Amino acid sequence: MAEAQGGGTVKAKSDFDGQKEAEALRKAMKGLGTNEKAIIEVLTNLSNAQRVQTAIDYKTMFGRDLIKDFKSELSGKLEAIVLALMMPSPLFDAHALKRAMKGAGTDEDALIEILCSRNNAEITAIKLIYKKEFKNELEEDIRSDTSGNLQKLFVSLSTGGRDENAEVDSDKAKADAKALFEAGEKAMGTDESRFNMILATRSYPQLRATFDEYAKVAKKEIEASIKSEMSGNLEKGMLSIVKVVRDKPAYFAEQLHAAMKGLGTDEKTLIRILVSRCEKDLVQIKREYFKMFKVPIAKSIAGDTSGDYRAMLLAICGGPE
């Protein structure tokens, strides 16, 4: 699949015909054996909305549930990524958040990644679908699964109430920079609530101006102060907000690299990021990945995965380059 121009590697098909796509998928799963290549070809050449429509057309035409057919015909990591691609984006995020808080232990990395990187409209949509799917408020589950300052950060981010005004108030940036300095570097102990309030409520352009002012006041970057003043998952959460504010594609490039380095691949993170970003900014993420790690992301994926699962990941990325 040729890489698309713009932010996404996966684009809406211009001559989309849901019935035609449904027919191709039925043919790929009918009879003995499954044509995985045909499934990959269909799904990676449609937008999320078109995949959802194809599932409706599939049921209308054949009286069968496309998701159930995928579950019975596919398995393992390929099944996981196919099912992820079939979910509307807010539903996919809601399920990822629920999975992160289910059972013993919490996947704080997944919570940090989703809550720190989605905009207000996306958070609002996630919360609505989360309530519908799991019969509970997202905030309630966050409260029961986390504690302390990290819990406060997650609750703040889950409100979806960040200022999204593009205008920058330079006086406020100076005042916020001074407040952050006094809450951290200058104080005995750290007033995390001040960091929480500013990092969770201000717009991205406003925060970028604040970070510039902070470097002047503190004689060091905000990241260095967070590292020296905080620890563990709270430090990771605060740093993630700063990274997303400064350069969201670079943040995701870093997360993808972390998922593939060392022994064993973090498949959940790999799938979550590629599926959630493939229609938004995966082109830029690939560019940043190459800039940061001097290797194409496709090469890292190819060396870390195999078979039809690898073929699906590479197709989502826009090909082997």
What span, in angstroms and rounded, lies between the C-alpha atoms of 196 and 209? Answer: 17
Q: What is the pLDDT of residue 129?
A: 98
Q: What is the pLDDT of residue 2?
A: 38
Q: What is the pLDDT of residue 189?
A: 58
Assess whether 192 and 222 both reside in one domain. yes
Q: What is the pLDDT of residue 73?
A: 96
Q: What is the pLDDT of residue 6?
A: 52
Report if residue 73 sits inside a domain.
yes
The whole domain housing 264 covers: 248-316
Domain closes at, from 197, 230, 263: 230
Domain closes at, from 200, 230, 260: 230
Assess whether 222 and 256 both reside in one domain. no
Report if residue 182 sits inside a domain.
yes
Assess whether 72 and 39 both reside in one domain. yes
Which structure tokens are listed for 88? 């509307």
Assess whether 256 and 309 both reside in one domain. yes
Domain count of the chain?
Answer: 3
Domain closes at, from 34, 52, 86: 86
What's the pTM? 0.93
- The CATH number linked to 176 is 1.10.220.10
Question: Are 203 and 162 a contacting pair, CB within 8 Å?
Answer: yes
Q: What is the pLDDT of residue 267?
A: 94
Assess whether 219 and 272 both reside in one domain. no
Residues of the chain with pLDDT under 50: 1-5
**What are the pLDDT digits (tens) for 216-240?**
999 999 999 999 999 999 999 999 9
Report if residue 149 sits inside a domain.
no
Report if residue 144 sits inside a domain.
no
Report if residue 67 sits inside a domain.
yes
- Which residues, including other chains, have CB under 8 Å from residue 95's CB and lie 6 or more apart? 87, 133
Report if residue 125 sits inside a domain.
no
First-last CA distance in the chain: 11
Report if residue 13 sits inside a domain.
no
